[in-house]
Amino acid sequence: MAKSPPKKQPRLDEATLTTPASVGSGASQTQSVRVDEIEQKAAWSDSPTLPFPTGLPMEHEYLGQDFYVRSCYSKYYKYVTGLLDDPDTAVVTVTGTPGIGKSIFCAYFLQRFSFEDKEATIIT
């Protein structure tokens, strides 16, 4: 059975997460932590722009230095890596109408994948 792509959902930038203050203190003491503080560890992936990777072969040369990171890229990244984790999947092809952003998603995907898996060899 084929998995369906993730649905678009609004970001929860202003949401708070309630967590126990410490493991030994019990659940009665909690602290509120803003979601954006938790996500600072991976801030590069949630930044509105990223530097365009050098050496990425493209049909048409990308003239900008940075590219806009759409909010759906993180979800699609997880979806594609989930497909690639399946031993029965050898290839994943991203398709869409011209100008939809497939090449820029490829730049995002390759940059994030090489950041998260330093041992990976990527051939494009």
Domain spans in the chain, listed from the N-terminal domain onward:
15-41, 47-124
pLDDT tens across 95-122, in order? Answer: 999 988 998 999 999 888 888 887 777 7
pLDDT tens across 42-73, in order? Answer: 444 567 888 888 878 888 888 888 999 998 99
Residues 6+ apart with CB under 8 A from 77: 108, 109, 112, 113
pTM, 2 dp: 0.59
